[in-house]
Amino acid sequence: MNSGDPAIPTPAMPKPAMQDQATAQTFAIPDNVYAETVTFVRHYTDHLFRFRITRPASLRFRSGEFVMIGLPNAVRPVFRAYSIASPAWDDELEFFSIKVPGGPLTEHLQRIKVGDTILMKKKPTGTLVLDALVPGERVYMLSTGTGVAPFASLVRDPETYDKFEQVILTHTCRQAAELAYGQEIVEAAAQDPLVSDFTAGRLKSWTSVTREPWPRTKRVTRAIEDGTLFAELGLPPFDPATDRVMICGSKDMIADCKALCLAAGLTEGSNARPAEFVVERAFVD
pLDDT surpasses 90 at 6: no
Considering the domain boundaries, does residue 16 fall inside one? no
Residue 185 and residue 155 in one domain: yes
pLDDT surpasses 90 at 117: yes
Considering the domain boundaries, does residue 259 fall inside one? yes
pLDDT surpasses 50 at 8: no
Residue 112 and residue 166 in one domain: no
Confidence band of 1 (pLDDT split at 50, 70, 90)? low
Residue 205 and residue 103 in one domain: no
Query: For the chain, what is the HEC assignment?
Result: CECCCCCCCCCCCCCCCCCCHHHHHHCCCCCCEEEEEEEEEEEEECCEEEEEEECCCCCCCCCCCEEEEECCCCCCCCCEEEECCCCCCCCEEEEEEECCCCCCCHHHHCCCCCCCEEEEECCCECCCCHHHECCCCEEEEEEEHHHHHHHHHHCCCHHHHHHCCEEEEEEEECCHHHHHHHHHHHHHHHHCCCCHHHHCCCEEEEEEECCCCCCCCCCHHHHHHCCHHHHHHCCCCCCCCCEEEEEECCHHHHHHHHHHHHHCCCCECCCCCCECEEECCCCCC
> At which of 83, 104, 121 does a domain end?
121
> At which of 57, 90, 121 does a domain end?
121
Residue 163 and residue 217 in one domain: yes
> At which of 104, 121, 138 does a domain end?
121
Residue 199 and residue 246 in one domain: yes
Residue 107 and residue 228 in one domain: no
Residue 156 and residue 220 in one domain: yes
* Domain count of the fold of the chain: 2
Can you give the pLDDT at residue 7?
Answer: 42
User: Tens of pLDDT along 21-31?
Assistant: 444 445 678 88
Counting residues of the chain whose pLDDT is more than 70, the rounded percentage is: 89
pTM: 0.90
- Mean predicted confidence (pLDDT) in 108-128: 96
- Mean predicted confidence (pLDDT) in 146-174: 97
Considering the domain boundaries, does residue 59 fall inside one? yes
Q: Report the CATH number at residue 106.
A: 2.40.30.10
Domain that holds residue 32: 21-121
Residue 33 and residue 163 in one domain: no
pLDDT surpasses 80 at 102: yes
- Mean predicted confidence (pLDDT) in 150-174: 97
